[in-house]
C-alpha cells in the first residue's frame, strides 16, 4: 500500500487540525506532504515541526519570512512559499495525490478547482467553493478524472448511505435526501430574542467545535442553506428532492429516503474525524479516535421542522438555488461580507439575512460562463453588500 501524500489546505483551522489528528494516527497510510494556512506563521511552523511536510505555504506573502525564520530556528528543512498562487500550484502539483480543501470561504475556490482538474483525490470541506461554482467544479472533476469525497458531515453521511458513493439518484431509487441540522445555538428563539446576539454567543455551538465563520453560518442556518446547494451539486439532486430536518442531538448526520420506503441514515458522535477518516481511507475503514456511540446514554433522537421565518438565511439559499445561474455565488459573497461585519461588531445578527436578501434583489442572476466571470460577480456582490452595510448600518 503506497502512502497517500496529503496536502492539507487550511492546516491551522478546525478541519485542518482534525485531519492532521487522523493522519498522525496512521503514519503507515498517510503523510502530510503540504501544509498551507492564511497568515498564522507560528501555528503553521509548529505543525511543520510535528509533521515534517515537503512544503509549507502562507497565503499572506508578508508572513513568508517569519515562517522561514521559525522553521530554520527549529531545524525543519522544508520548502517555504507564499501567496494564493502557491497554494493553487501545490493543490495540483506533484507533492500530493490527495487534497483536503479546508480553507474557509471563497478564498478556497482556486485551489479546489485546481485539485479537481489535476485528478487528485479531493476531500471537500470548503463548501463555499461548490456553492459558488458547482457546475464548474464538477466539470473540472470529470476532466481530471479523480474522485471527490465530501467531508462536510451531512454530505459524507449521504455519500455513505448511497450505493457506490455518488450514483445517479433516479436509477438508485432515491426519493429524497434529508439533511439534518442541529438548529444552532438559537434554536427555538424568536426574532425579537435575536436582536442583541454577540459574536461569541453565535460562535458557541451546542454540538460542534468549528471555525468562527461556519459557527455564525450555523447560528443563522445559512450553513444548512449552503449545504442544500452543496448537496444539489454533489449528488445531482433536484431542489425538491432535498429536505432539511432539525435534529438537535446531532447524532444522525443525514439520511437517504428510497422509493421502497427504506430510509438509511449514518449516525455517530459529532466529531469531524469520522467523516475525514472515511474520506481519507475510502473504501476502507480506519480508526479515527472517535468514541463509540452510546445510544442508550443519549436516550432520545428528536426531529422538528426548521423555522425559516426566524432563520431566513435557509429560505434565501433555497430561493437562490431555485433562481439558478450565479445566484448562489451572489448569496455566498454577500453572506461572507455580512458575517465578517457581524464578527467585527458592525452588523447586528439579524442584519446578516437582510444584507443577503438585499444583494440578491439588487443583482439578478446571470448564467455562469467561466471562473473569471464568476469571480467578477463575486466581487460585484461583495461591493453591493458593503454598500448596503454602509447605507443601513454605519
Site residues, ligand NAD (CB under 6 A) = 10-16, 36-38, 40, 59, 87, 102-104, 107, 125-128, 152, 208, 210-211, 213-214, 272
Q: Are 129 and 101 in contact (CB under 8 A)?
A: yes
143 labeled part of a ligand binding site = no
State yes or no: 207 annotated in a binding site.
Answer: no
User: Which of Mg ion, ligand NAD, none binds 161 (CB below 5-8 Å, type-dependent)?
Assistant: none
Q: Consult the annotation and say whether 127 binds a ligand.
A: yes
**Burial class for 138, CB neighbours closer than 10 Å (0-12, 13-18, 19+):** middle
In the complex, least distance from residue 389 CB atom to ligand NAD, rounded to whole angstroms: 21
For residue 130, report the phi and psi dihedrals to the nearest 5 degrees.
-80, -30
At its nearest, how many Å lie between ligand NAD and the CB of residue 279?
Answer: 12
**Cβ atoms of 186 and 219 closer than 8 Å:** yes
User: At closest approach, how far in Å is the CB of 272 from Mg ion?
Assistant: 9
Does 335 belong to an annotated binding site? Answer: no
As a whole number of angstroms, the distance between CA 329 and CA 378 comes to 6
For residue 108, the minimal CB distance to ligand NAD (Å) is 6
The grid cell for 386 is 458593503
CA distances from 332 to 154, 246, 373 (A): 19, 22, 15
**CB-based contacts of 68: which residues, under 8 Å, 6+ apart?**
80
Cβ neighbours of residue 207 under 8 Å, at least 6 residues apart? 182, 248, 249, 250, 270
By a kind-dependent CB cut-off of 5 to 8 A, residue 107 interacts, out of Mg ion, ligand NAD, none, with ligand NAD
Contact by Cβ (8 Å): 226, 128: yes
* Nearest distance from C-beta of residue 7 to ligand NAD, angstroms: 12
By a kind-dependent CB cut-off of 5 to 8 A, residue 12 interacts, out of Mg ion, ligand NAD, none, with ligand NAD
Q: Is 182 annotated as a binding residue?
A: yes
Strand, coil or helix: 325:
coil
Instruction: Please count the residues of the chain.
Output: 394
Q: Which is nearer to Mg ion, 152 or 326 (CB)?
A: 152
Determine, following the binding rule CB under 5 A, whether residue 152 of this chain makes contact with Mg ion: yes
Stretch that binds Mg ion, among 63-71, 146-154, 180-188, 297-305 (CB under 5 A): 146-154
Q: Is 246 helix (H, G, I), strand (E, B) or coil?
A: strand
Cα separation, 74 vs 151, whole angstroms: 33
- Residue 39, marked binder: yes
Tell whether residue 390 is among the known ligand binding residues. Answer: no
Residue 223 annotated in ligand binding: yes
Footprint of Mg ion on residues 335-394 (CB under 5 A)?
none
Q: Which does 205 bind (CB under 5 to 8 A by kind): ligand NAD, Mg ion, none?
A: none
C-alpha cell at 230: 452543496
Enumerate binding residues for Mg ion (CB under 5 A): 152-154
Q: Which residues are annotated as a binding site for NADPH?
A: 12-15, 39, 126, 128, 211
Q: Which residues are annotated as a binding site?
A: 12-15, 39, 126-128, 152-154, 182, 205, 211, 218, 223-224, 227
Q: Which residues are annotated as a binding site for Mn(2+)?
A: 152, 154, 227
Amino acid at each position: 500500500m503506497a502512502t497517500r501524500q496529503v496536502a492539507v489546505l487550511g492546516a491551522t483551522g478546525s478541519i485542518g487540525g482534525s485531519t492532521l489528528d487522523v493522519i498522525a494516527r496512521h503514519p503507515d497510510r498517510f503523510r502530510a506532504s503540504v501544509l498551507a494556512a492564511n497568515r498564522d506563521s507560528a501555528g503553521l511552523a509548529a505543525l511543520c515541526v510535528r509533521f515534517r511536510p515537503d512544503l509549507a505555504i502562507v497565503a499572506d506573502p508578508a508572513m513568508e519570512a517569519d515562517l522561514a525564520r521559525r522553521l530554520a530556528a527549529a531545524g525543519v528543512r522544508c520548502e517555504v512559499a507564499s501567496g494564493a498562487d502557491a497554494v493553487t500550484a501545490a493543490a495540483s502539483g506533484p507533492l500530493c495525490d490527495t487534497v483536503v480543501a479546508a480553507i474557509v470561504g471563497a478564498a478556497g475556490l482556486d485551489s479546489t478547482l485546481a485539485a479537481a482538474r489535476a485528478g487528485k483525490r479531493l476531500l471537500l470541506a470548503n463548501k463555499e467553493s461548490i456553492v459558488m461554482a458547482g457546475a464548474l467544479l464538477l466539470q473540472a472533476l470529470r476532466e481530471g478524472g479523480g474522485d471527490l469525497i465530501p467531508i462536510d458531515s451531512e454530505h459524507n453521511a449521504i455519500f455513505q448511505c448511497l450505493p457506490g458513493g455518488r450514483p445517479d439518484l433516479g436509477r438508485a431509487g432515491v426519493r429524497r435526501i434529508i439533511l439534518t441540522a442541529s438548529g444552532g445555538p438559537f434554536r427555538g428563539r424568536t426574532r425579537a430574542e435575536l436582536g442583541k446576539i454577540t459574536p461569541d454567543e453565535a460562535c458557541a455551538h451546542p454540538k460542534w467545535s468549528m471555525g468562527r465563520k461556519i459557527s455564525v453560518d450555523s447560528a443563522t442556518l445559512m450553513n444548512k442553506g449552503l449545504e442544500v446547494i452543496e448537496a444539489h451539486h454533489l449528488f445531482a439532486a433536484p431542489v425538491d428532492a432535498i429536505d432539511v430536518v432539525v435534529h438537535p442531538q446531532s447524532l444522525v448526520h443525514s439520511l437517504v429516503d428510497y422509493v421502497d420506503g427504506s430510509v438509511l441514515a449514518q449516525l455517530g458522535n459529532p466529531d469531524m474525524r469520522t467523516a475525514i477518516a472515511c474520506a481519507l481511507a475510502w473504501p476502507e475503514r480506519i480508526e479515527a479516535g472517535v468514541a463509540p456511540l452510546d445510544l442508550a446514554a443519549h436516550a432520545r433522537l428528536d426531529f422538528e421542522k426548521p423555522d425559516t421565518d426566524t432563520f431566513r438565511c435557509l429560505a434565501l439559499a433555497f430561493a437562490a438555488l431555485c433562481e439558478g445561474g450565479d445566484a448562489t455565488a451572489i448569496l455566498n459573497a454577500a453572506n461572507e461580507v455580512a458575517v465578517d461585519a457581524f464578527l467585527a461588531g458592525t452588523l447586528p445578527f439579524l442584519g446578516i439575512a437582510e444584507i443577503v436578501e438585499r444583494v440578491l434583489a439588487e443583482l439578478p442572476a446571470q448564467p455562469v460562463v467561466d471562473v473569471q466571470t464568476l469571480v467578477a460577480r463575486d466581487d460585484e456582490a461583495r461591493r453591493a453588500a458593503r454598500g448596503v452595510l454602509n447605507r443601513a448600518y454605519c
